[in-house]
Structures are given as structure tokens and as C-alpha cells.
């Protein structure tokens, strides 16, 4: 993880190499590489969804797949997300391994009936007679004027469902490993990607590997406060941790990677040491991922003695496009650092880092629209 931070700020020639020879790859390319490897390995894997085969190739994340695997295995669909989800489920029940792609997570609301009432329950309510090895890829569009319907991160709706798995990779390495794990999983898996992470780079091994569910990663060790980040909030929390260290606070940063099944043991272990936990979610708080993590922490640790828990996430509003409002809508390294500082030093005067230091390269790089 921390290797990424050593990269020179301007992007490397791509695919780039670290000085020690290791390859770096962008998140977006890691996604297509993962699918290409799996489609090569297993002819039952196919990829479909609106616009997966056009020249923009889902912001580049399906680039090259049509050319390589042909239109029988890589194809667009009508605008019929509800039925197409059913089609994916049926194909999966018949032994295929569909990957159904949605360019925005918001559109999954059209798929809820099939996902909730069939995909997540089929194995159980059919007494183990079927399995539904289906991957649903979805992308969060951080707003940049996109507005209320093109910016939602609705992962908690899926975390709520027994029978669903949910991955939210925060970096190129995990993007590839989670995608491969998702494709090989015999259950429906929701992949929640983040558009603004697409250009970010990390060391990514060339062959196939999996980042399976069940293990959160400690991305940075620290003593004073634990910060749990979800999706791109991991990146922002890492930046916040740097800022905090300048202010004399040592923050541990944890990335759950998979949200369902969710490994809270790693988080609990860290919290048992720091007894101060900030959860930064890339989503709304109410009944969100942050609520679940906080609840589990409280169940596990609050009886043992004081433990401070705080959540930050989207403002409790739809997402507005106007830039000032939109900035205030999202957590950022500054607000994360300030909240963590307040937890770590409850008696010190409030502190927040210089706003100029809280802008992240991967955000500035982006120009709308997408």
C-alpha cells in the first residue's frame, strides 16, 4: 500500500515500473486485466452490460476485452437493467459466470428486485440446488457536478442482505485481486469501484491472484487513533494520517477491502489498543457501513471501558452539483484529520490542517464530465 505513496507525482509511463522493477498499473487497467485473465482461464466467464463494448469501454475498465474475446462474450444490452440482472442470474444458475457491468451504482436501484429477491436468496431458498456465481460491477461517480443521481455509494443496501458479498477496493492491487476473487466466487458479488480511483496507480503483479473476503488490511500502523476508510476514503484517510502525524497524532488506517463478509476482527484489535476509532465512509451514515462497523465495535469493546467512536461520511442530503456545496458534502483529508485529532486529543484546542494540503492528486487530476 504505502509503496504507492513513493511514486513520483506525475503519472509514470504506463504500464510503469518501480525503480526496483516491480510493475505499477492503474486501477482502471487492473480491472480489465483481472477480467481478461479470468476470461482466458475460464470460458464460462462473460461480460455484459450497457456500453461495455463501445470505444469508451466503461471509462476504460473494459478496454480491449471485446477485441480479445469477441462479441459473444463481451456485449452491450438494451437499457433494461431489471431484466438483465435476471438474465445474469439465470445464466449463472446454468453454470456460466456472468459479469454484469453498471457504469454508475445509482442504476442498481433498477436491479434491486432481482438482487434482493432472487440472487441473494436463490441458493438458500432452493435448498442448495443452485448457485449464482455472478459479479455485478458498479462504479461510484464522485460528483463533479454530476448531481444527486450520479454520485451515490449504496453499498450498505447490499451489505444488509444475507447471501451477498460486497467488495470495495481502494487501490489497483485490490481492484485486480478482488475482481478475480469475485469472479471465482460461487456467490453473487457486488464490486463497488470508485471512478476517481481509476487513474491511481499501485504495484500490481502480472499473473492472477486473489484478494479474498475476510481480511481487512492495516494500511498504516499508528498508536493514537484508528481510522477505518471505505473505498476511496482509504486514500483520503491515508493522507489525513500524514497530516495528523505532522500534528503529532499517530493514526492507524484500516481498509476493510470487503464489506461483506466484513472482517471487523482486525478493526476491533486495533481499536482495543487505541480506544479511539473514526470511521470514514464514502456514503451516508444512517444504517450505512459506518453504522455496522461502529455497532460491532461497540458490541465487542464498549463494555470493557471507555471507547470513543465517531463516524464521518456524506452529508445527510442528496449530492448537490454546485462546487461549494459539493465540497461540503464529502469528507476529505482535512475533515477526517480534524475529526481524528479531536478524538485523539479531546482536551487540545480544535485543529484542522491547512486546506491546501488536503487536496488529493487523484481528485485534482479529474475534469468532468465523465
Ligand X SMILES: Cc1ncc(C[n+]2csc(CCOP(=O)(O)OP(=O)(O)O)c2C)c(N)n1
- The vertex-20 CA angle with 233 and 357, nearest 5°, equals 30
Marked catalytic residue, from 33, 81, 193, 292? 81
Q: Which of 298, 328, 348, 357 binds its own copies (CB under 8 A)?
A: 298
78 burial type by CB count under 10 A (0-12 exposed, 13-18 middle, 19+ buried):
exposed
Q: Which of 191, 260, 336, 340 binds its own copies (CB under 8 A)?
A: 260
Cβ nearer to another protein, comparing 10 with 128: 128
Instruction: Give phi and psi for 219, each to the nearest 5.
Output: -85, -25
Question: Widest CA span of the chain, in angstroms?
Answer: 63
To which residue does cell 488536503 refer? 358
Residues recorded for the chain? 370
Measuring CA to CA, which residue among 351, 354, 355 is closest to residue 338? 351
Give, as ranges, the residues between 121 and 150 that touch its own copies (CB under 8 A): 121, 124-125, 147-149
Cβ nearer to another protein, comparing 126 with 221: 126
The nearest distance, CB 103 to ligand X, in angstroms, is 6
Convert residues 29-48 into a mask of x (bound to another protein by CB under 8 A) and - (unbound): -----------------x--
Which three-class secondary structure state does DSSP give residue 259? strand
Number of residues that bind its own copies (CB under 8 A): 56
Give, as ranges, the residues between 154 and 193 that touch another protein (CB under 8 A): 162-163, 165, 186-187
Residue 145 interface partner, choices its own copies, another protein, ligand X, none, CB cut-off 5-8 Å depending on type: another protein
**Cβ–Cβ under 8 Å, residues 222 and 250:** yes
Does residue 69 belong to the site contacting another protein (CB under 8 A)?
no
Does residue 112 belong to the site contacting another protein (CB under 8 A)?
no
| Alpha-carbon span 311 to 50, nearest angstrom | 35
Does residue 363 belong to the site contacting another protein (CB under 8 A)?
no
Neighbours of 354 (CB within 10 A): 9
Q: Which of 2, 10, 13, 79 binds ligand X (CB under 6 A)?
A: 79
Give, as ranges, the residues between 19 and 78 that touch its own copies (CB under 8 A): none
The nearest distance, CB 106 to its own copies, in angstroms, is 6
The nearest distance, CB 148 to ligand X, in angstroms, is 13
Residue 228, strand partner residues: 254, 279
Residue 368 interface partner, choices another protein, ligand X, its own copies, none, CB cut-off 5-8 Å depending on type: another protein
Does residue 364 belong to the site contacting ligand X (CB under 6 A)?
no
Does residue 339 belong to the site contacting its own copies (CB under 8 A)?
no
Active-site residue flag, 173: no
Strand order in 97-102's β-sheet? 74-75, 45-48, 97-102, 135-140, 189-194, 165-167, 258-260
| Alpha-carbon span 45 to 100, nearest angstrom | 11
Q: CB-based contacts of 198: which residues, under 8 Å, 6+ apart?
A: 26, 27, 28, 59, 60, 61
Q: Which of 69, 107, 144, 258 binds ligand X (CB under 6 A)?
A: 107
Does residue 21 belong to the site contacting another protein (CB under 8 A)?
no
Does residue 16 belong to the site contacting its own copies (CB under 8 A)?
no
Which three-class secondary structure state does DSSP give residue 62? coil
Give, as ranges, the residues between 299 and 338 that touch its own copies (CB under 8 A): 299, 301-311, 316-318, 320
Q: Which of 180, 254, 294, 337 binds its own copies (CB under 8 A)?
A: 294
Neighbours of 18 (CB within 10 A): 14
Question: Could you give the C-alpha distances from 161 to 203, 255, 316, in angstroms and in order?
Answer: 33, 21, 23
Measuring CA to CA, which residue among 113, 124, 285, 98 is closest to residue 191? 98
Give, as ranges, the residues between 309 and 348 that touch another protein (CB under 8 A): 315-318, 320-325, 328-329
Residue 186 interface partner, choices ligand X, its own copies, another protein, none, CB cut-off 5-8 Å depending on type: another protein
The nearest distance, CB 194 to its own copies, in angstroms, is 19
Active-site residue flag, 201: no
Marked catalytic residue, from 100, 150, 155, 194? 150
Residues at the site binding ligand X, with contacts judged by CB under 6 A: 50, 79, 81, 107, 110
**What residues are labeled active site?**
81, 150
Amino acid at each position: 500500500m504505502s509503496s504507492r505513496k513513493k511514486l513520483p507525482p506525475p503519472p509514470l509511463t504506463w504500464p510503469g515500473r518501480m525503480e526496483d522493477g516491480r510493475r505499477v498499473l492503474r486501477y482502471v487497467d487492473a480491472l480489465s486485466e483481472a477480467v481478461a485473465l479470468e476470461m482466458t482461464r475460464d470460458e464460462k466467464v462473460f461480460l455484459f452490460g450497457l456500453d461495455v463494448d463501445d470505444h469508451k469501454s466503461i471509462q476504460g475498465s473494459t478496454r480491449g476485452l471485446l477485441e480479445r474475446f469477441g462479441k459473444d462474450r463481451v456485449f452491450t444490452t438494451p437499457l433494461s437493467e431489471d431484466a438483465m440482472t435476471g438474465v445474469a442470474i439465470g445464466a449463472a444458475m446454468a453454470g456460466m459466470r456472468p459479469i454484469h457491468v453498471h457504469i454508475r451504482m445509482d442504476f442498481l436501484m433498477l436491479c434491486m428486485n432481482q438482487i434482493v429477491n432472487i440472487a441473494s436468496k436463490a441458493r438458500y431458498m432452493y435448498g442448495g440446488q443452485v448457485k449464482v456465481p455472478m459479479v455485478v460491477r458498479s462504479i461510484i461517480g464522485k460528483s463533479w457536478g454530476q448531481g444527486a443521481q450520479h454520485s451515490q455509494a449504496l453499498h450498505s443496501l447490499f451489505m444488509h442482505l444475507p447471501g451477498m458479498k460486497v467488495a470495495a477496493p481502494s487501490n489497483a492491487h485490490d481492484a485486480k485481486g478482488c475482481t478475480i476473487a469475485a469472479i471465482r466466487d460461487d456467490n453473487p458479488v457486488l464490486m463497488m469501484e470508485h471512478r476517481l480511483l481509476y487513474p491511481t496507480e499501485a504495484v500490481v503483479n502480472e499473473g492472477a491472484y486473489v484478494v479474498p473476503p475476510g481480511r481487512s488490511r492495516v494500511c498504516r500502523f499508528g498508536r493514537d487513533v484508528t481510522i477505518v476508510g471505505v473505498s476511496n476514503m482509504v486514500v483520503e484517510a491515508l493522507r489525513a494520517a500524514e497530516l495528523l502525524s505532522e500534528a503529532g497524532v499517530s493514526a492507524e488506517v484500516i481498509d476493510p477491502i470487503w464489506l461483506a463478509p466484513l472482517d471487523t476482527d482486525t478493526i476491533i484489535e486495533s481499536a482495543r489498543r487505541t480506544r479511539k476509532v473514526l470511521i470514514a465512509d464514502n456514503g451516508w451514515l444512517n444504517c450505512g457501513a459506518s453504522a455496522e462497523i461502529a455497532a460491532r465495535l461497540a458490541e465487542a469493546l464498549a463494555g470493557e471501558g471507555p471507547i470513543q467512536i465517531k463516524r464521518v461520511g456524506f452529508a445527510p442530503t442528496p449530492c448537490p452539483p454546485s462546487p461549494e456545496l459539493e465540497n461540503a458534502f464529502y469528507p476529505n483529508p482535512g475533515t477526517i484529520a480534524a475529526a481524528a485529532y479531536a478524538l485523539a486529543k479531546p482536551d487540545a484546542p480544535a485543529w484542522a490542517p491547512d486546506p491546501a494540503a488536503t487536496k488529493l492528486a487523484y481528485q485534482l487530476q479529474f475534469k468532468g464530465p465523465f
